[in-house]
Amino acid sequence: MEKLEPIYEGKAKKLFETDDPDILLLEYKNTLTAFNALKKTTMEGKGALNNKISSYILQYLASRGVPNHFVKMVDEVRQLVRKVEIIPLEVVVRNITTGSICKRLGVPEGINLNPPLVEFYLKNDELGDPIVTEDQAISFGWASEEEIQKIKNMALQVNQLLKDLFKPLGITLVDFKLEFGKTKDGEIILADEISPDTCRFWDSSSGDRLDKDRFRKDLGNVLEAYQEIWRRLSAKGEE
């Protein structure tokens, strides 16, 4: 499929139109950003790792009944995805407290959340993606009541499936962020990426951070941690 014009460039990915109006080409960049891009670096090989990890996870989820935008990998850093209208909400699922929730609520790190917590944040870089209530999302028309319910159910289903995937690999799924989009037929599907950029993964025995927190907190060996996630996933075999 021929690569045409870029239609969007984000912090970690670029989107191109293709000759099929329903399909886009998603390119993973080597850029790594944190704190709303106040901290930024480039890491050779990061884009390829996230492309592989996200492709693997999205195929795993599709085969277990979670519709998503992934179509197929094209090369090391690019994949074809279905075109959707992105719902302007970031959906965070938390199993264990860490990160922004500890700062916001003054709670310690490491509390097990039962049931897992689903939170909505408005996708708005200028405002630093503020947390919003479900009622705000509905009243401002960012999603309908029915869509919010559907998104919450899908987010919890993804959480369970990802925990099932990672637990036998010795990885604790701490929290993660999802994005959803609407197809031209109005179906809500999972979009964006699922990778160590968007999830917190802790090694179940050592507690080592195997995700972007290594970059956020200057822990070093960032690429090695992403490689370790891919090594354990790919050792498991094809999805």
Residue numbers 186-225 binding ligand C5P by CB under 6 A = 198-200, 212
List Cβ neighbours of 43 (8 Å cut-off, separation of 6 or more).
30, 32, 222, 223
* Residue nearest ligand C5P, Cβ-based: 99
Alpha carbon separation from 176 to 106, 123, 147, 156 (Å, rounded): 20, 15, 20, 11
CB atoms within 10 A of CB 204: 15
Q: How far is the CB of 237 from ligand C5P (least distance, A)?
A: 26
- Decide: is 175 part of the binding site for ligand C5P (CB under 6 A): yes
SS3 content of the chain, % helix, strand, coil (to 5): 30, 35, 35
- Decide: is 10 part of the binding site for ligand C5P (CB under 6 A): no
Q: Tell me the per-residue interface mask from 105 to 134 with ligand C5P, x by CB under 6 A, - otherwise.
A: ------------------------x-----
Cβ atoms of 58 and 194 within 8 Å: the answer is yes
- Decide: is 69 part of the binding site for ligand C5P (CB under 6 A): no
Residue numbers 75-104 binding ligand C5P by CB under 6 A = 90, 92, 99-101
Residue number, 1 or 37, with CB nearest to ligand C5P:
37
d(CA 81, CA 207): 34
Binding interface with ligand C5P (CB under 6 A): 90, 92, 99-101, 129, 175-177, 198-200, 212
